Amino acid sequence: MIEGHFRDGHPRVALEIGEESVSFLIDTGFWGDMALPQDLAQRLCGRPNGVRIRRLADGRRIRVPTHEFELGWQGKDRLTEVLALGDEPLIGTALLEGNDLHVEVGEGGRVLIEPR
């Protein structure tokens, strides 16, 4: 089980990426594993290993560098794709697949990600 809090209008959890704890916003509108700002993605994951074309919410298509790394997720190692994108770390629905997400909506509310 992964626990976090509802803060600044969004559900958030912290994950250990290498030696760092990174606070992620849970974005149910993002289909992907996770996104990190480009500088953070390079620092934590090394050089990009590819590029994907992604469609943004406004309909634009952009080329996004991708990284892969083994994430400790729910007690297991999971090969995770990281998009180098945006200004805030995001967890998307692809990473949440097979889990239940419980959110107490309201400042300070509890956030739980539990395996099904």
pLDDT at residue 19 above 90?
no
pLDDT at residue 104 above 90?
yes
Q: How far apart are CA 43 and CA 41, in angstroms?
A: 6
Question: What pTM was computed for the model?
Answer: 0.89
Domains annotated for the chain, with CATH where assigned, are 2-115 (2.40.70.10)
Over residues 71-91, the pLDDT tens digits come to: 999 989 999 999 999 999 999
Instruction: Provide the token pair at 105.
Output: 């909506």
Q: Please tell me whether residue 42 adopts helix, strand or coil conformation.
A: helix
What value does the CA radius of gyration of the chain take, rounded to a whole number of Å?
Answer: 14
Instruction: Provide the token pair at 109.
Output: 């509310």
Instruction: Provide the token pair at 36.
Output: 């990190």
